[in-house]
Every structure is written in structure tokens, then in C-alpha cells.
Amino acid sequence: MLLAEVAEVSRSVASTRARLAKIEALAGALRSASPEEAPVVVAWLSGELSQRQIGVGWASLRDAPPPTPKPTLSVSEVDAAFTRIGSVSGKGSAAARRELVGSLFGAATAEEQYFLVRLLSGELRQGALDGVMTEAVARAASVPAADVRRAVMLSGSLPATAGAALGGGSAALAKFGLQVGRPVKPMLASSSPSIADALAKIAGDAAVEWKLDGIRIQAHVADGEVRLFTRTLDDITARLPEVVAALGELPVREAVFDGELVALRPDGRPRAFQDTAAHAARDVPAAQASMPATPTTVPLSVFLFDVLHLDGADLLDLPDAERHAALARVVPPSMLMPRLVTASPDEAEAFFFDAVARGHEGVVVKSPATPYAAGRRGAGWIKVKPRHTLDLVVLAVEWGHGRRRGWLSNLHLGARDPSTDPPGWVMLGKTFKGLTDELLEWQTARLQEIEDHRDDWTVYVRPSLVVEIAFDGVQRSPRYPGGVALRFARVIRYREDKSAAEADTIATVRALATDTDSAG
């Protein structure tokens, strides 16, 4: 299969909003791929590399050679090239990696180069999410989607599942089973704006648990040996000896636990998220960490909320209430996620407000009858968090990619700084989340009306347009001049009824960060 075919499918998927059309286009590509190529094609069209990381960033992509006029590169050749690039290390590795990247790009057409740039930079946003790709694999292999979803859950890998489905159908998928030591994709939670709304989706009693701002962890225990995996299935066992020691003392022969790790203050309140993340990221090069890896001596506390396997028995298909009962039999209360089972909205709301008052993110409302459905967001688990908002000013906006090509999409957000003369603006980060097609169309026209200047990628505007932004928290960040950034920022609405002088100040934002640090 040629790289050009994959690039064309990517373009086609990005240009349509219809889910069924996306699925059919992806399925067609998988039918054209061999069983050996299918895992690679699935990874690429999901916006990932088979190798995960190969050490190529924007700096390596800026000076690409001219494209070739005729497509010749195969999927296998490009994947092998990525492997070679990722294996380069030692003295002179940067130059060697740059030469290999240049050689690959020199053999690619303009359309293939465009695809490769987006793939390698993590900008391949085309709507081929796991759910869509799972349906495409099922259609291409002519197998039930439920078989594919379960195999993905147990294998932890959609590309590997695709290769099995296309090579051996349902019989091959049935061979995937839960293995202690091999991580499975975690179950996810949908969202609700309130406790009442969440409870309305669950008949009768509901389990309400704290939602911590920590690190999701999957712990595999076998005869005293412990392995720890993140929600992205990365093995971080070696970085957390205190967690390994604590779990190794549990009275189990073998088990798979789901839980959360968090750094706590002496009073039991959570520390800032960066403190937890930095501890788990110690001994990892800062370039590979999601945030600066500043080690801390604060140990991480373990809070477990589910068990998927226990002493030879798979528990995935049991209802949540039975899994939690099994968990409580082998885990001490100090290691269990605090939990309330109730059908009373008042009791559930009081539990929610207490969790927030203790410095936690909110709660997860769970149906006691739901099985463990890895990788899926449904009514079985529902997260509820208080919503924070700020009125910020748009400083600039970047042109979109994929389906958003031709629209101004990624907003640069700024807070007002009245301490300067004249008052200035402090950038807090970027977001393209929460924008409907109508808002994209409107802001593309409106922001060009207040344009100050532009370059190839970005339109810089006069700081006059206020936008209401929802976010999950404020974190310390050396990336921006204010030293803080918003977590999971998304657009609520534009506030043309407000002037830029009424926008929130950087002092307000920093106070939120201080509150987060003092409260956890």
C-alpha cells in the first residue's frame, strides 16, 4: 500500500463530518492494506506512530526538501524509516536524524509531505477517533464491532487488534484475553453538569466516588511483583518504588487494579497536579515529559477504585458493585477511593461539595450494575466537576488543519495586566476546543476585521475581543510569561457586550493558581 493512498484517505476523512462516511473511507483503506500493513495504517490514521515517539519535532520539519512529483513510498518503507529515525542516539544524533528525515521527505509528494508533517507534529486532527476507527476495523474485517471493542480492551492496542481482525477475523480476536502484566485500556467517564443530571441517568442507587487530580494508574500484581501503567499504557514501574512497595504487600496472588496516584500534603489535601506529575516523571528527560520534570521527595498516595482480575478470576464482566466488594476484601480502607452509595440527590451533592472542599476535582457517579467497558464513555461512569470560567482576550489565532482548514481555529488567550503602563496582556495558552462550525465561521470573519498583522500560520489581532473560557484548573507553566496556564480550556461564548478593559486580570488567574496550590 502506498503512503499516497493513506494521505488521500486522511484528507477525505478530514473533509467530511458524517460519521458513517468516515467509517466507510477508513474501512476501504484497511481492506486495501495487508495484515502486516493494517496496524501501521490504523495507527497513522488515528494520529499516532507505531513507534510512539521518534524524536522528531517542528525544528526537524521546517526545512523539508522539495517534494517529488510522483508517489513511490510504501507504508512499509515509511514505517521502517520511522524506526530508523527513532533508533538514532548518541553524539551527532540530531544531525543524523535530520538527514534521515530529509531523505524521507525528499521522496514524498507535496500531499504526502503535508500528511507526514501533521502526523509527526501531532496535528493530524481529522475525526478518526478510537470509536470511529473501531467501527471501521469491524466493517473492513466483517466482524461484530463488539468483538473488536473487547479485543482492543484486552490487548490495549487498536492497531494490533486491527491486524488480528483482518488476518483471522473473530476467531483471531477471541484469542485476546486479560493477561496480568499486559495493560488494558482504561474505562472512561462521560460528563454531566450537575449531580442531579448524573443521577437521573442511573436507576436507583448510585456509587459516588472522589475524582482526584492525579495520575490514573493500572497496577498489575503477580506473586509479589508489581508493574504500573499509565492511562496511555506506558510502564512507569521503575519511577515509583514506594507505590510498588505498598501494592506488593497486598494479600493477593495476582490482581489487576485501577486507581489514582496523588501527592498529598500533611493535612491530607492534594498538592498541585504538577507535584504529582513531576514525581512520576522523575528520571525521564524533560523533552519527553508532558511538563517540566522537577523531582520531588513527596511520596505518592495510592487510591484504588476498581479490580479487573483477582487470583485467577477475570472480573471485567461483573457489575461494579461486585467488583468493588472484591476490591474491598483485599485492599485496606486507607487505599480505597472514598465512596458513597446512595439514591438521594441531597446526600450525593453533599458528598460532592465535601470532595471539592477537600481540594479534589469533583466526583465520579457510577452505576452499580455496569461492567468494566474499557475505552468507552457511557452512562456507567459520569464525572461531575465544578466549572470555572474566565473572561479573556483573544491575542492571536492560528489557521486550522484538516476539516478546519480555511478557518481560523486555535485561539491565543490573554489576561489583562493593569500593572503595566499602558496596561498589557499576558498569554495563558491556546485552545481550539468548544468551537462549533457557526463559531468558527463567525470568528474567522470577525478576527480578520481586527487583524494587526500575520505570518504564514497565525493572524495577530488587536486585543479587543473578549471570550468566555471554561477550564478545569490553573497550573504553573514556564512556557508562558505569566508563569501559569489553563488546564483543558474551552470556549463557552464570545462576550461582545464586554470591553477588553473588563477582561479578567493576570492577578485573578494567579490567585486561582494559588488557591489550587493551597487547596491541592
CATH of domain 188-384: 3.30.470.30
Query: Do the beta carbons of residue 340 and residue 368 sit within 8 Å?
Result: no
Domain boundaries in the chain?
3-173, 188-384, 388-519
Q: Which of 338-342, 426-430, 450-454 has the highest mean pLDDT?
A: 338-342
Q: Which of 144, 146, 520 is nearest to 301 (CA)?
A: 520
For the segment 196-232, what is each residue's pLDDT rounded down to a tens digit?
A: 999 999 989 999 999 998 899 999 999 989 999 998 8
The torsion angles phi and psi of 8, rounded to 5 degrees, stand at -65, -40
pLDDT band at 144 (very low <50, low <70, confident <90, very high): very high
3-class DSSP state for residue 364?
Answer: strand
For 414, phi then psi, to 5°, come to: -135, 145
Rounded to the nearest integer, the mean pLDDT of the chain is: 87
Q: What is the dihedral of CA 289, 295, 301, 306, to 10 degrees?
A: 10
pLDDT at position 355: 92
- 211 in active site: yes
Whether the per-residue pLDDT at 506 is higher than 70: the answer is yes
Tell me the mean pLDDT in the region 71-84: 94
Looking at the domain that runs over 3-173, which CATH code has it been given? 1.10.3260.10
Q: What is the pLDDT of residue 377?
A: 65
Using one digit for the tens of pLDDT, what is the confidence trace for 432-469?
988 888 889 999 999 999 999 998 889 999 999 999 99
- The vertex-53 CA angle with 49 and 54, nearest 5°, equals 100
Mean pLDDT of all residues in 369-380: 80
CA of residue 129 relative to chain centroid, distance: 11
Q: Quick one: three-class SS letters along 232-286?
A: CCCECHHHCHHHHHHHHCCCCCEEEEEEEEEEECCCCCECCHHHHHHHHCCCCCH
Give the mean pLDDT of 372-400: 85
Per-residue pLDDT at 287 exceeds 50: no
Strand 458-461 relative to strand 388-399: parallel, antiparallel, unpaired?
Answer: antiparallel
Tracing cell 473473530 back to the chain, one arrives at 170
The predicted pLDDT at position 27 comes to 94
Question: Nearest Cα to 481, choosing from 431, 427, 430?
Answer: 427
Alpha-carbon distances, residue 7 vs 17, 69, 239 (angstroms): 18, 15, 38
Kindly report, residue by residue over 15-39, the tens digit of the pLDDT.
887 889 999 999 999 999 988 899 9
How much is the pLDDT for 497?
72
Task: Name the pLDDT band for 516 (thresholds 50, 70, 90).
Answer: very low
- Model confidence at 470, pLDDT cuts 50, 70, 90, reads confident
Which H helix or E strand runs over 229?
strand 225-230
Nearest residue to 468 (alpha-carbon basis) of 401, 399, 388:
388
Q: Which residue has the cell 506488593?
A: 248
> What is the percent of the chain with per-residue pLDDT over 70, rounded to a whole number?
92
The C-alpha atoms of residue 406 and residue 352 are separated, in whole angstroms, by 43
pLDDT at 340 over 80: yes
Averaged pLDDT for residues 281-299: 44
**Among 365, 190, 337, 160, which Cα is nearest to 257's?**
337
How many whole angstroms separate alpha carbon 4 and alpha carbon 520? 49
Task: For CA atoms 469, 473, 477, 483, give the dihedral sign.
Answer: positive
Provide CB contacts within 8 A for 116, sequence distance 6+. 3, 78, 104, 105, 108
- Catalytic: which of 22, 70, 91, 211? 211
Q: How far apart are CA 501 and CA 465, in angstroms?
A: 10
Q: Is the pTM of this model over 0.85?
A: no
C-alpha–C-alpha distance, residues 163 and 151, integer Å = 11
- Measured CA to CA, the distance from residue 507 to residue 501 in angstroms comes to 14
Q: Return the CATH architecture of domain 388-519.
A: Beta Barrel (2.40)
DSSP label at residue 182: S
User: Among candidates 456, 413, 416, which has minimal Cα distance to 435?
Assistant: 413
Q: Hey, which bits of 359-489 come out as E strands?
A: 362-366, 377-384, 388-399, 408-417, 424-431, 451-454, 458-461, 466-471, 473-476, 484-487
